[in-house]
């Protein structure tokens, strides 16, 4: 029987670069937030094949999708014992590539979570094992709001009150281009910008709408100045979003996706309508999303 699974996108509600390791990787801290917008995985018993196609609802379908041999899900499938890898996975893509929303990592995390729930995985330390294929894959094994540190592999899940989950409404701005993550970090390093101070804004590991509001007042993305210099359209969009009555507007990861956070669906909808012509003129599209709800 074929199983259909939502593979959620994520956004970074703030991203601080707090250091650099001896191996050259940057240490970061960020509030990762899973969204109801994402890819759709179709999983069934088979021969271990992975196929991809653009969803009819995808914002843009101009990027060339990875081949089966170049897809991270295929890599993980081939690393599993033979008795656990006989699955065919078709990925209906909506998450833009190079959008800073974790598309490939989400696909892997969602697939592994499904196998874990079916109790057929023999991998003992799944989070550690999965992180070798992508630092943020462990986040998608749970797909709940989390404070993330290290190079993205240290996940601290945060408990949310119902209001903390349902009172946030997201407007995503998707571009027909992606940001090159390696280039963003290279230019960030060359800028000589001092590292941000490490913080722990949620010491009790709990989120309320009040604590989220407080955090977002000072949240920022340390990669934004670099990304907006390389991609001026991103700067124009962020300036427009920040002129709207939102809790926060920012860049997800190293880009290119921008987003705004609202406390009501009505204010989100009004912003989408008010900026419709601006988005069209700048060849970008808006998508409304909520928090991803795990079962």
The set of catalytic residues is 10, 136
Residue 188, CA distances (Å) to 12, 67, 131, 216 in order = 18, 31, 24, 23
* Residue 291 DSSP label: B
Neighbours of 180 (CB within 10 A): 17
Number of H helices, E strands in the chain: 11, 12
Q: Residue 100 and residue 197: Cα distance in Å, rounded? A: 23
Q: In what helix (H) or strand (E) does residue 28 lie, and over which residues does it extend? A: strand 26-45
Sign, CA dihedral 170-63-75-46, equals positive
Q: How far is CA 151 from CA 58, 156, 235, 238, 241, in A?
A: 29, 13, 26, 26, 29
Handedness of CA 268, 270, 274, 279 (dihedral sign): positive
Rg, C-alpha atoms of the chain: 19
Which of 72, 15, 9, 54 is closest to 36 using CA atoms? 9
DSSP 150: T
Opening angle at CA 232, ends 35 and 34, nearest 5: 10
Tokens describing residue 158: 């945060």
Task: Locate the DSSP E strands across 98-234.
Answer: 146-149, 154-157, 159-160, 169-174, 206-207
């Amino acid at each position: 029987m074929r199983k259909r699974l939502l593979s959620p996108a994520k956004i970074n509600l703030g991203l601080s670069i707090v250091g650099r390791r001896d191996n050259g990787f940057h240490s970061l801290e960020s509030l990762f937030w899973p969204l109801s917008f994402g890819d759709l995985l179709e999983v069934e018993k088979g021969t271990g094949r992975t196929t991809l196609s653009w969803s009819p609802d995808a914002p843009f379908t101009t990027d060339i999708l990875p081949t089966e041999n170049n897809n991270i899900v295929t890599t993980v499938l081939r690393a599993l014992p033979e008795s656990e890898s006989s699955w065919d996975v078709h990925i209906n893509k909506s998450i833009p590539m190079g959008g800073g929303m974790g598309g490939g990592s989400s696909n892997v995390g969602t697939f592994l979570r499904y196998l874990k729930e079916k109790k057929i995985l023999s991998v003992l330390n799944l989070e550690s094992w999965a992180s070798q294929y992508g630092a943020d894959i462990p986040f998608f094994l749970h797909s709940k709001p989390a404070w993330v540190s290290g190079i993205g592999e240290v996940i601290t899940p945060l408990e949310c009150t119902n209001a903390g989950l349902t009172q946030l409404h997201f407007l995503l701005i998707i571009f027909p281009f992606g940001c090159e993550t390696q280039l963003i970090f290279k230019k960030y390093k060359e800028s000589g910008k001092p590292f941000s101070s490490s913080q722990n804004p949620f010491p009790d590991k709990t989120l309320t709408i009040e604590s989220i509001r407080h955090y977002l007042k000072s949240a920022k993305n340390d990669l934004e100045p670099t990304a907006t210099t390389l991609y001026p359209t991103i700067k124009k969009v962020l300036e427009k979003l920040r002129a709207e009555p939102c809790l926060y507007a920012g860049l997800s990861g190293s880009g290119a996706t921008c987003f705004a956070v609202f406390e009501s669906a009505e204010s989100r909808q009004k912003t989408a309508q008010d900026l419709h012509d601006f988005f069209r003129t700048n060849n970008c599209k808006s998508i409304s999303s909520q928090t991803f709800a795990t079962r």
